[in-house]
Amino acid sequence: MFRKLLIANRGEIACRIIRTARRMGIATVAVYSDADANALHVALADEAWCIGPAAPRESYLRIDGLIDVARRCGAQAVHPGYGFLAENADFAEACAAAGLAFVGPPASAIRAMGGKSQAKALMQQAGVPLVPGYHGAAQDLPTLQAAAAEIGYPVLIKASAGGGGKGMRIVESDAVFPAGLAAAQREARSSFGDDRVLVERYLTRPRHIEIQVFADSHGNTVHLFERDCSIQRRHQKIIEEAPAPGMRPEMRAAMGQAAIAAAQAVGYVGAGTVEFIVEGDSFAFMEMNTRLQVEHPVTEMITGLDLVEWQLRVAAGEPLPLQQADLTINGHALEIRLCAEDPARDFLPSVGLIRHLRLPDSARVDAGVRAGDRISPDYDPMIAKIIVHGADRAAALRQMSAALAQTEVVGVQTNLALLRAILGHADFAAADFDTGFIGRHPDVLALHHALPQAAIAAATLTVLAQRAAANLVPTDPTSPWGGHTAWRMNLQGGQTVHLRHADRPLAIRAEATGTGWSLSWDGATHHAALHDGRLTLNDTTRPVTLADLTVLLDGAAIAFDEIDPLLPPHAEAAGGGKVIAPIPGRLASVLVAPGDSVTAGQVLVVMEAMKMEISLSASRDGTVASVHGAVGDMVGEGTEVVVLEEEG
């Protein structure tokens, strides 16, 4: 077994690998970019080496830099995690050339399965059913567009070299095919350094079911059953479970054997995942991910195995610890991905400082950040994975709901409310879902609910406490001036707190009582007190957490601002003639220049942030007055990127 392991990755997967390596007595070496100097994986590792600036292409994607660190630190093996270089055959070969064990499959298997077009051809030869599509080598627009027309719209353009939903576009018609192709190629080139694509028929009601496979260098190959990953947004998974609901034993066996055949066809070694599109009782090969998957913990929970340990043992030349007959399914597991993103804004990533973070102690948590860490525009926005295991699916659902009720995040927008809404949806509970679940259920995105009275009271009491703390307390404890209760001789004392939640202004009249405060708003009066993290409102006492003026109540983060009612209304920073960067990111493409005429809805700029593309469009017809920034420039949130001439 290895004495020292270099982990060529970051975030939660680096932390997860470190935990297993430490249990096995293997020393770990972390690598980090300038942006990650204080990251959790750096703190957990036995040693850590800086490998360059924040941009992945200058740090985590630099093969020469990673190999140099591995040599200098004395590592015997390199674990690529997932993403970045995990499915890069050149990296696997560079490790081998440097005398380092690559904790993954051989470069030949990565090349065979990493190129989706080539993988489809291999599967076709092996008799595995495929979704109709074009998987050829020609990548020019006329060839691809003609193939799409022959397949029939809608089609899915998919990056040949990648995964994780990057470089994918659904195209509904021939007219928008060129724009969809260009966007998919740009995103594929940015994420994987390879802009080749394939085109397939887009199925409207499929389930995404994948099989975990494992192979060793002694000729043994097994499957560790299936995972259902159908709940997705932007073609990226956010809820995964194992086993797949409603999976018949006969179909499980057929899919498992197909996955094993796929792995054996390319001489596979290590952990891999064969992904299938499933409709009814039929399944079709989609792709093979030649790495450990983000969702591997649900397989670990139902099998009782540590897949990273298996990876390390296989990479060290050991045989698989178990054979197929030894593997069984125990219970049901669910995993959610807690991400820094705003579902109300088409899942736009959210960057910033995590000011408060509470993760459940009743579940397994794989996290790569802590309170005080910053979500960077350079990397994936996932905060943590939360995983539960129950005797059956209903028990796992109850456990996950309880775990999410304990979860709190302040400082960035998250998908927490969306995850709760999906888990509580009757169709999800009944396992009536497919990859289009979120799109067909807009109710799960209706995340703006009635503002709880308890939240208003807690925020108001916080402001009152802040006002009191800002004043000097007289030395005489009997002085009425030391109480900060707005006491007045011969008059009823009181003060008004002005708050805003989202776009709703609130004026709360506060009067001190002997046991707390009398708070009045919207024509009603409430008695409230806040002591040691417990809020008493009228006759009810409940726990509440406060982070500045964000109230965390029943796991929901409800943000308030204190406002000055005498200030004039805030003018909108961006009028109809300005295109504003919604988050920090890099300019991937600037499609207009001063003097150009544009129409409403026309894409003017494409930004790159958190491994995804964001298109910024004109809100009206007009002429470009100015463009601020060039391709490759980093722009901050709120930056005016394009300005149109004033109307009239």
Positions marked active-site = 291
Query: Mind giving me the DSSP string for 176-206?
Result: GHHHHHHHHHHHHHHHHS---EEEEEPPSS-
Q: Is the dihedral of CA 125, 126, 132, 137 positive or negative?
A: negative
Residue 443 has phi, psi (to 5 degrees) of: -65, -30
- Cα of 104 vs its chain's centroid, Å: 24
- Alpha helix stretches (DSSP H) within 406-448: 416-423, 426-429, 437-440
Q: What is the DSSP letter of 130?
A: B
On whether the CB atoms of residues 233 and 248 are closer than 8 A, the answer is no
In angstroms, the CA 307 to CA 397 distance is: 24
595 three-state secondary structure = coil
Q: What share of the chain is helix, strand, coil (3-state, %, to 5)?
A: 30, 35, 40
In angstroms, the CA 235 to CA 230 distance is: 9
Q: What is the DSSP letter of 413?
A: -
Q: What is the DSSP letter of 602?
A: -
In angstroms, the CA 412 to CA 637 distance is: 13
On whether the CB atoms of residues 216 and 318 are closer than 8 A, the answer is yes
CB atoms within 10 A of CB 417: 21
On whether the CB atoms of residues 486 and 573 are closer than 8 A, the answer is no
Buried b (16+ CB within 10 A) or exposed e, 294-332: bbbbbbbbbbebbbbebbbbbbeeeebebeeeebebebb
Omega within 30 of 0 (cis) for the link into 377: no
